[in-house]
Chains A and B, each alone.
Chain A
């Protein structure tokens, strides 16, 4: 298959166009992914999440430089929100890592959430496969950092890095959001600001309260400060990179890599099944006018959503 060959050869235009076709859900793209799929599974996928403004893009920029020093190739997927009103987006994460633009060992691609989270999740998941098949040693995915996508990342990434900043008001809030559970590594960025020590202690208290850690991996907390001082920030980034590698090794040593891979496989299967089974049924209902007829019945309180759904299931889904 022509496109598959180009992807495996690292053809940047072909890869970028393929990702676009995934985003636009062009028919036939799935076939390309089918051909690419056997060539995936080699890249170490790292997710970066955390509040907007925490410094994820800047950290990724420095991490990419670090990986390039070690002659590793990197693919980066940067996700930014689409306007719920116009559908447009300003994809501005790339600006932080433009210094890598002309490095052939680095591929950076910005994606918009395009509203429907389900829709993008599929594009990001497959985009990771494409960069993997392209031969990248590492694939870094930066999420928007709020809402559902933040949880989705744990299904796609081997290692999840959560970036926090001090002084965001109530430190406990950040922890209540469930970040504690998804993080494999915590980074306290802009740690030269007030409240860094307090945030560090809060994280430590929460981690100390845990009964046990999966794979005996207690998420380390790394402080990063003084962006423009190589001695300080540079060292922190090197530390982050080494910790990421250690985490991957831990997954292997503890036989957990299989679990992560299985989790992603099941997620992808669920999404593909939804696409193959649910969406055609929904389209049919809308096209035939049945959707509106059912809505009328609901409004008139003649029936309830569950009964209607069961009727549809009975009609359209055969054992």
Chain B
């Protein structure tokens, strides 16, 4: 079966209002041919999770520039799983120290993209690592 068109969400949990990066990513995903849901700033993990389920998202991209990723990213993943989204994949980006990467990988984040990563590199990575859900 041909690969289905990816549905990807760009989400900003918490109080961080710096959304330029998220919007650049959203455009980048659109240009890569993905259907991108952008839920805006100041979302709670519950809101992000509810949206991810309603929108049948394959991959949630979490963005945080304010240092709250250690709490918020795992919280989002947990909420999505609570709602039954066990096959939804996660990537993260923003201002994230390399020392925090392992904690995030352990929580379920598949890929982390920090400042300096090129957009083509992100898309290449997504193409290779994120598969559209094909569950019934």
Q: State the A residues within 8 Å of B (CB).
A: 3, 12-13, 16-17, 19-20, 24, 82-83, 86-92, 94-95, 98, 101-102, 107-110, 112
Q: Are A17 and B136 in contact (CB under 8 A)?
A: yes
* Interface segment, one of B52-60, B68-76, B96-104, B109-117: B52-60
Docked CA distance A88–B32 (Å): 7
Main SS at interface, chain A: mixed
Q: Of all chain A residues, which has the CB nearest B51? A: A101
Q: Are A109 and B47 in contact (CB under 8 A)?
A: no
B window 4-55: CB within 8 A of A: 4-5, 7, 26-27, 29-40, 43, 46-47, 50-51, 53-55
Q: Which of A13, A87, A90, A107 has the most CB of B within 10 A?
A: A90
Q: Are B56 and A17 in contact (CB under 8 A)?
A: yes
Q: Of all chain B residues, which has the CB nearest A114? A: B5
Residues of chain A contacted by B40 (CB below 8 angstroms): 95, 98
Verify if B67 is at the interface (C-beta below 8 Å from A): no
Residues of chain A contacted by B135 (CB below 8 angstroms): 17
Q: What number of B residues sit within 8 Å (CB to CB) of A?
A: 32
Docked CA distance A87–B43 (Å): 28
Q: Of all chain B residues, which has the CB nearest A87? A: B33
Docked CA distance A17–B83 (Å): 14
A87 with B5: in contact, given A16-B55, A19-B56 (CB under 8 Å)?
A: yes
Q: Are B33 and A112 in contact (CB under 8 A)?
A: no
B20 shortest CB reach to chain A, Å = 15
Q: Are B35 and A88 in contact (CB under 8 A)?
A: yes
Q: Are B37 and A94 in contact (CB under 8 A)?
A: yes
Residues of chain A contacted by B50 (CB below 8 angstroms): 101-102
Q: Are B35 and A16 in contact (CB under 8 A)?
A: no
A95 shortest CB reach to chain B, Å = 4
Contact partner of B38 among A24, A82, A95, A112, CB < 8 A?
A: A95
Residues of chain A contacted by B108 (CB below 8 angstroms): none
